[in-house]
Amino acid sequence: KPFECPICGKSFSRNSYLVIHQRIHTEDKPFECPICGKSFSRNSYLVIHQRIHTGEKPFECPNCGKFFITNFSLMRHQRTHTGEKPYECPDCGKGFSVNSTLVKHQRTHTGEKPFECPDCGKSFSQNSTLVKHQRTHTGEKPFDCPDCGKSFSRNSYLVIHQRIHTGEKPFECPDCGKGFSDNSSLVKHQRTHTGERHFKCPDCRKGFGQNSDLMRHQRTHTRD
């Protein structure tokens, strides 16, 4: 490989490859999107980017017929059909179909939380969790119920709420068969069977199955 990069020493078989590589160091991006103005170091990257504007998805999954912008995205998607998980966590051995998911998972071992809230300084292991958290500061509730118009800060909250309208109760008590719209309600209910009392009064140490019962009890201590 006669063409060597003078900055990092990496070698290439062709001068054209070296020229493309050197743009990593110079940050030269000569290929500009005529629609949005975003620039790229390679023409091939620009071609892929332009599909966002045109909606072109030339790569079709032979299993389900779904289309993708890049061949890489198609290959990643196909793992949902094959079950292939080539990215393995070196700490616990758990496998993942996508490397980015492995990176997120590894933070459970390292405790790394690189995404910090600019409002309160709280840190998170995933950017998506930070985005959800920031709604507690902004009050943003982008998920609207189509039945009653009530808004929620998270889609998961909307899904639980919609069960009020549909009557769906997917969480069933294994002891008595009673159904609940969300798992937390089932957990609370199960304490009536187990007698478990997680919530202790700090004044008299009396135990309660639900936090609401504890709060009601604590008022007996604050009364004049």
Of 42, 40, 39, the closest CA to residue 16 belongs to 42
Write the pLDDT tens digit of every residue in 158-205. 999 999 999 999 999 999 999 999 998 999 899 889 888 888 999 998
Domain pair 3-54 / 89-138, same fold: yes
Torsion on CA atoms 34, 39, 40, 43, rounded to nearest 10 = 20
Q: Do the beta carbons of residue 107 and residue 127 sit within 8 Å?
A: no
Residue 61 tokens read as: 């999954």
Q: What's the rounded Cα separation, in Å, for the pair 148 and 162?
A: 9
Cα gap 213→206, rounded to integer Å: 11
The Cα 158–Cα 78 span in angstroms is 30
pLDDT of residue 49: 94
The Cα 118–Cα 131 span in angstroms is 11
The token pair at 46 is: 């620009």
pLDDT at 71: 93
Structural domain boundaries in the chain = 3-54, 89-138, 151-223
Contact 150, 161 (CB under 8 A): yes
The CATH code of the domain at 151-223 is 3.30.160.60
Which regions in the chain score pLDDT beneath 70?
A: 224
DSSP-assigned beta bridge partners for residue 12:
3
* Radius of gyration of the chain from its Cα atoms, rounded to whole angstroms: 27
* Domain 3-54: CATH class, spelled out: alpha beta
- CATH homologous superfamily of 89-138: Classic Zinc Finger (3.30.160.60)
pLDDT of residue 194: 87
Question: Considering only CA atoms, which of 55, 56, 59 is closest in space to residue 70?
Answer: 59
Enter the tokens of residue 92.
């616990």
